[in-house]
């Protein structure tokens, strides 16, 4: 979707917005089939951004030509929720990505947004921030954990996600007898609430509460190392959010210590303890964005066109109506959820989605 306006001759053209991606693993809406989720995300991208750039399809020469075409005021958002593993193929992809980032960064007058990694692993993250009170006591060997840690503890691998590679050990005996290999060990933090906070330019722009999707299935107290933890992500009302100031102070410290630049978009996973302290689990610059989170982040990056705003409202209602239908119990337990009142599913939107071509941008 491109906006074309006839203006006075001294105005060369309006700034444009570009969505740059190298993977399609944006997540979707609870209760909506996966194929429909892909359509929803693609429809939003097409409506909000002027152009979509697929880096996997580009050579360095093509990147050079594209960067030359950028004009002052253009907005470039490079997004991925995937960390490239160390393989020969991915090393070549990484070279192209690094080349692209370098070229755009050197282009003056461009508002370049990126959610690139600012730590290589969970171990790096804990090591850098270990002196802060909001971090749990952590060590990096099983032997040290057995000698110095207070149980229960949570053991993790460096590059797991969705709870994979995470296991809780209630006693030293349990850890001693485990044959699983982990990279770090943290003292378990008792908590009343768990949140994911999205940060842009050092400012908190979006908060969701993470509540276990199915209480009788996998959770941190019963899961084995390779089980997946499933959560419901419930959007929170930022205005008058009870712990906003404390969380903002944590985000400021993370910014300062990790050297994240002003164009960085990332999330912080944190806990609220029974005595109302904020404790950090980890930070992630590769956070997956479902439709609601994607829309919230876009509102802080792009001047969204009017027609796209109408679409966003319909998708928002679809998201909230489905979430309330499926996870009413979790929503009612949530600390400070947004209002789910007067939300409904738009039949015209569903009809449009079924006929929407999501195979190309």
Cα–Cα distance for residue pair 339/14, rounded to 1 Å: 36
- 274 lies in the same domain as 137: yes
Per-residue model confidence as pLDDT tens for the chain (361 residues):
333 322 222 233 456 777 776 544 444 444 455 667 778 888 888 899 998 888 777 889 999 999 999 988 898 887 765 555 566 666 777 788 788 888 988 888 888 877 655 555 778 888 888 899 999 999 999 999 999 999 999 999 887 666 677 889 999 999 999 998 999 999 999 999 999 999 887 889 999 999 988 765 556 666 666 666 778 899 999 999 999 999 999 988 888 887 654 456 788 999 999 999 999 988 877 676 777 888 888 888 888 999 999 999 999 999 899 889 989 999 999 999 999 988 888 888 888 888 887 766 6
- 208 lies in the same domain as 111: no
Contact call for residues 19 and 53 (beta carbons, < 8 A): yes
| Domain stop point among 69, 94, 119 | 119
- 99 lies in the same domain as 152: no
Name the pTM for this structure: 0.85
DSSP string, 265-323: EEEEEEEE-TT--EEEEEEETT----HHHHHHHHHTTS---HHHHHHHHHHHHHHHHHH
332 within a domain of the structure (yes/no): no
| Domain stop point among 119, 154, 176 | 119
The domain that contains 267 carries what CATH number?
A: 3.30.470.20
- 160 lies in the same domain as 278: yes
* H/E run at residue 357: none
| Diameter over CA atoms, the chain | 77
- 140 lies in the same domain as 274: yes
- 175 lies in the same domain as 274: yes
Establish whether the linkage from the previous residue to 152 is cis, with ω within 30° of 0: yes
Tokens standing for 175?
């850890």
- 257 lies in the same domain as 111: no
336 within a domain of the structure (yes/no): no
Tokens standing for 288?
């997956």
Give the domain extent around 72. Answer: 17-119
Our count of domains for the chain comes to 2
DSSP string, 184-222: EEEE----SEEEEEEEETTEEEEEEEEEES-TTS--TTT
N- to C-terminal Cα separation, the chain: 10
- 114 lies in the same domain as 131: no
Q: Which of 245-276 are b and which e, b meaning 16 or more Cβ less than 10 Å from the residue's Cβ?
A: eebeebbebbbeebebeebbbbbbebbbeeee
325 within a domain of the structure (yes/no): no
| Domain stop point among 237, 257, 285 | 285
190 within a domain of the structure (yes/no): yes
Tokens standing for 52?
């979509």
């Amino acid at each position: 979707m491109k906006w074309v306006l006839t203006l006075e001759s001294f105005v060369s053209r309006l700034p444009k917005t570009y969505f740059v991606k190298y993977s399609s693993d944006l997540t979707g809406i609870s209760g909506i089939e996966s194929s429909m989720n892909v359509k929803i995300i693609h429809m939003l991208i097409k409506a909000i951004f002027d152009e979509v750039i697929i880096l996997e399809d580009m050579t360095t020469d093509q990147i050079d030509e594209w960067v030359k075409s950028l004009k002052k005021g253009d907005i470039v958002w490079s997004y991925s929720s995937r960390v490239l593993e160390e393989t020969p193929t991915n090393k070549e992809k990484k070279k192209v990505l690094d080349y692209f980032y370098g070229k755009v960064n050197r282009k003056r007058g461009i508002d370049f947004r990126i959610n690139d990694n600012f730590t290589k692993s969970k171990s790096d993250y804990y090591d850098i921030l270990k002196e802060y009170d909001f971090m749990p006591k952590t060590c990096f060997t099983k032997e040290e954990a057995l000698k110095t840690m207070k149980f229960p503890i949570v053991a993790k691998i460096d590059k797991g996600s969705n709870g994979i590679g995470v296991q809780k050990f209630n006693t030293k005996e349990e850890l001693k007898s485990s044959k699983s290999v982990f990279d770090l060990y943290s003292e378990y933090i008792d908590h009343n609430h768990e949140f994911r906070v999205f940060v842009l330019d050092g400012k908190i722009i979006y908060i969701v509460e993470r509540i276990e999707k199915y209480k009788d299935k996998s959770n941190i107290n019963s899961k084995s190392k390779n089980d997946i933890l499933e959560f419901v992500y419930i959007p929170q009302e930022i205005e008058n959010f009870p712990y906003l100031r404390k969380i903002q102070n944590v985000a400021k410290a993370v910014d300062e210590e990790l050297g994240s630049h002003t164009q960085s978009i990332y999330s912080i996973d944190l806990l609220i303890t029974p005595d109302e302290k904020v404790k950090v689990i980890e930070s992630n610059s590769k956070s997956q964005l479902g439709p609601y989170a994607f829309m919230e982040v876009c509102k802080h990056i792009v001047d969204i066109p009017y027609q796209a705003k109408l679409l966003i409202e319909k998708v928002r209602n679809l998201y909230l109506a489905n979430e309330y239908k499926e996870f009413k119990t979790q929503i009612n337990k949530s600390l400070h959820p947004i209002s789910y009142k007067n939300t409904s599913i738009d039949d015209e939107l569903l009809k449009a989605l079924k006929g929407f071509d999501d195979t190309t941008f």
